[in-house]
Amino acid sequence: MAQITVRPVQGNKDKVTFLKVPFALYAGDKNWVAPLFFERMEHLSEKKNPYFQHAKAQLFIAEKDGKQVGRISAQIDDLHLARYNDASGQFGFLESVDDPEVFAALFKAAEGWLRERGMKTVRGPFSFSINDESGLLIDGFDTIPNLMMGHGTPYYGSRVEALGYKKVKDLYAYEFDNRQGLSPPLRKMVKRMMASGGITVRPLNKKKMDEDISTMMSIFNDAWTDNWNFVPFTAAEVKAMGNNFKMLLDEKAVNFAYVKGEPAAFCVAAPNINEWFQGLNGRLLPFGWATLAYHLLRGRSKSVRVPLMGVLKKYQDGPVGAGLALAVIQASSDHVISRGVTHGEFSWILEDNARVRHILESMGSRIYKTYRVYEKRL
Instruction: Give burial (CB, 10 Å; 0-12/13-18/19+) of 118.
Output: exposed
Residues of the chain with CATH 3.40.630.30: 4-172, 179-341
The CATH architecture to which 4-172 belongs is 3-Layer(aba) Sandwich (3.40)
Confidence of residue 286 (pLDDT cuts 50, 70, 90): very low
Secondary structure class of 12 (helix, strand, coil): helix
Tell me what pLDDT residue 276 has.
Answer: 63
For the chain, give the mean pLDDT.
Answer: 91
Q: Which residues contact 317 (CB under 8 A, 6 or more apart)?
A: none
pTM, two decimal places: 0.92
Q: Which of 114, 40, 112, 42 is CA-nearest to residue 75?
A: 114
Q: Are strands 366-377 and 136-139 parallel, antiparallel or unpaired?
A: antiparallel
Is the previous residue joined to 233 through a cis bond, with omega within 30 degrees of 0?
Answer: no
Buried/exposed 251-274: b ≥16 CB within 10 Å, e otherwise: bbbbbbbbbeeebbbbbbbbbbbb
CATH tag for 179-341 (out of 3.40.630.30, 3.30.70.890, 1.10.150.570, 3.50.50.60): 3.40.630.30
Question: What number is the average pLDDT over the span 193-211?
Answer: 90
Could you tell me what percent of the chain has a pLDDT over 90? 77
pLDDT for 103-135, tens place per residue?
999 999 999 999 999 999 999 999 999 999 999
Dihedral angle computed from the Cα positions of residues 137, 142, 147 and 152, in that order, rounded to the nearest 10 degrees:
30
Tell me what pLDDT residue 188 has.
Answer: 92
How far are the Cα atoms of 87, 228, 352 from residue 234, in angstroms, in the given order?
21, 18, 26
Question: What number is the average pLDDT over the span 221-246?
Answer: 89
Tell me what pLDDT residue 198 has.
Answer: 81
pLDDT for 58-87, tens place per residue?
999 999 988 999 999 999 999 999 999 999
Confidence of residue 210 (pLDDT cuts 50, 70, 90): confident
Tell me what pLDDT residue 197 has.
Answer: 78
Confidence of residue 288 (pLDDT cuts 50, 70, 90): very low
Residue 319 has pLDDT above 90, yes or no: no
Q: Which of 124, 65, 74, 128 is CA-nearest to residue 97?
A: 65
